[in-house]
Amino acid sequence: MRSLYRRHRPRTFDEVVGQEHVVRTLRNAIARDRVHHAYLFVGSRGTGKTSMAKLLACALNCQGAPRADFDPEDPRCRAIMAGGSMDVVEIDAASHNSVDDIRELRESIHLAPMEGGRRVYILDEAHMLSTAAWNAFLKTLEEPPPHIVFVLCTTEAHKVPATIVDRCHRFDFTRPSADQLRAVLRRVAQKEGISAPDTALALVARAANGSFRDALGTLEQLVAYCGDQLDTEAVRDLLGLGNSEEVAEVAEAAIAGDAARALRALAAVCERGRDPERFARELGDHFRLLLVAGASGELPAAVGLTEEESARIVDQAARCPTWVSARMLDLLAEALARVREGGEPRLQLELALVKACDRTSEPTLHALMRRIEDLERRVAGVPGTASGAAVGAASRESAASAVEGTVGAGARSDTAHDAQPPAAGDEPSGGVSPVGDDRSEDASGAHPEASAAGGEGRVASAPPAPASPRSDATAISGGVTLATIVELWPALCEAAREHNHMLSHWLAQARPSSLEDGQLTVTFPETISFGFRKVKEQRERVVELLRGLVGAPVAVRFEVAAAESCASGSDRLTDDEVVEALKRELDARELGESEEEEGT
């Protein structure tokens, strides 16, 4: 007994599903008697390339040929579909790929058709022909006898020589959609007397991955497994699909950032005998649906899920940020790639889950912004703290100080600031002492502790700023101060590294020196004047990076420190020091006397 996919091949052009562009072109060519002598059918497996070639052969050899509306019950057409026609020759190029095979083909093409008007040669897996075979076939393909039509079918068109492709009319077969596959499955099930719910057929269509042959083959397996009455659970068991609750549990743990819970759920799945690699693919499909549901607010109708499962995914998507789904999909793709390279599947899946749950493991600017947003949300939920925007722009230490600010001033004073003011000899390389810490007077001259009446109130302390000759009391929108920018300056240098390594190097040697009226002054040592000029040329990039970090626009002005400031109080640079600076910054070298004479 023939298999389902052979018994239910399309018998007319009207029964072809998903390849309307090919059908229309061939119909018009047959109607106008302008059929080409060579066709190249390209497409993934199971998309109907061989079936289309046989339909073309039927149209060219039926009664009254050529006819696009041929009768499938015509004896000639039935013989072609059954593989018994002498005028249609099918060749498996994977096993007949030598020069000798092509020579035999060249000798046979001169024979006249036995019954119909054309002899049709169908070469399956044509890309498997050897280079020598292609060379032997080239002249025959270019100028065949008038009664010959070649149809080359391949899944890898890039392996077909360009000289062959040029001599063929090429058609690209598209993958059928899940709805089209489900329609074909429904039609075949009705003809075969098989009862199956739509959810079961949708699961089969999804597992087929765009292949009619795979879909019908799976349906045949299901009939052998559970008879003519199919159900969704039987489909899941046969396809190796797990319980949707298992996948949802692991996904829930990953969304919550609970690595221990995710690993426990995965261990329970593996103990039940599930394949970790297949489970990783199912988890990837789940997060893809979360991504779709999060963006559109609903799921497509043809995903093959029950109402309960769809509702669970929509609810989970509402609690899953887009970046979590995207990061999880990236990590799963990396894990599956390592598995293909020989990695242990369970270990790679566990590693992906741990990375997804660790929100601090991603060393990028985007990860830093997400951690700042987390701080904003946590701080905004504590009564009596500073605003989320102001705290979110500061570093982790600044945010922690703002949260602790709800305690009494007496208890706060012991932990407000661990660092002591620098000694007189510990001035930074600008030759200027830092402005005061949180125990110094504020802009109005009042001591911070004096504002806490009765030992209560809020203490808004900030880490000390680096050396600055001007006051940092002026803050831009969002409460961002000079101290905040100083703390985030290393992060800005790291972010600049993604665009330009030298820009990051030069920014790391500069320092934010003042913030007045929304304008930040960045001071460069005199020893890197070349770097100063290059940074000025990329001012817009620096402004963009700074805005991404602090969450507010900041005007930036660059300046070079005075000579005495750069020298930390010493005299101006000597000639030898200038030479050393040129060697260090510009990779210069000294010319000897002989070289100087030659240069003159």
CATH code, 203 = 1.10.8.60
Pick from 567, 569, 544: nearest CA to 492? 544
Domain check: are 250 and 378 in the same one?
no
- Domain contains 430: no
Tell me the residue range of the domain where 127 lies: 4-172
Domain check: are 38 and 147 in the same one?
yes
Half-sphere exposure of 485 (CA within 13 A, CB side): 35
Q: Residue 304: give its domain's CATH number.
A: 1.20.272.10
Domain check: are 496 and 586 in the same one?
yes
Number of CB atoms found within 10 A of residue 425's CB: 5
Q: Residue 485: give its domain's CATH number.
A: 3.30.300.180
Predicted pLDDT at 302? 56
Cα 582–584–590 angle (5° rounding)? 50
Domain check: are 253 and 350 in the same one?
yes
Predicted pLDDT at 439? 37
What is the side-by-side order of every strand in the sheet holding 555-560?
A: 511-516, 519-524, 555-560
Domain check: are 384 and 471 in the same one?
no
- Domain contains 109: yes
Helix and strand element counts for the chain (H, E) = 28, 8
- Domain contains 61: yes
Question: What DSSP assignment string belongs to 444-485?
Answer: TS--GGGGSGGG-S-----PPP---SS-----BTTTB-HHHH
Predicted pLDDT at 411? 36
Q: Which of 239, 261, 277 is the last residue of a domain?
A: 239
Domain check: are 91 and 207 in the same one?
no
Domain check: are 232 and 293 in the same one?
no
Number of CB atoms found within 10 A of residue 582's CB: 15
Q: Which residues pair with 169 in a beta bridge?
A: 39
Cα 570–572–575 angle (5° rounding)? 125
Domain check: are 314 and 376 in the same one?
no
Predicted pLDDT at 376? 76
Pick from 394, 18, 482, 418: nearest CA to 211? 18
Domain check: are 137 and 19 in the same one?
yes
Domain check: are 396 and 278 in the same one?
no
- Domain contains 272: yes
> What's the structural domain count of the chain?
5
**CB 380, CB 538: distance < 8 Å:** no
Domain check: are 157 and 28 in the same one?
yes
- Domain contains 446: no
Q: Which of 156, 172, 188 is the last residue of a domain?
A: 172
Token pair for 535: 């940074």
Domain check: are 20 and 160 in the same one?
yes
- Domain contains 598: no
- Domain contains 196: yes
Q: Residue 78: give its domain's CATH number.
A: 3.40.50.300
Q: Which of 172, 191, 206 is the last residue of a domain?
A: 172
Residue ranges of the chain with pLDDT lower than 50?
382-474, 477, 563-571, 593-600
- Domain contains 452: no
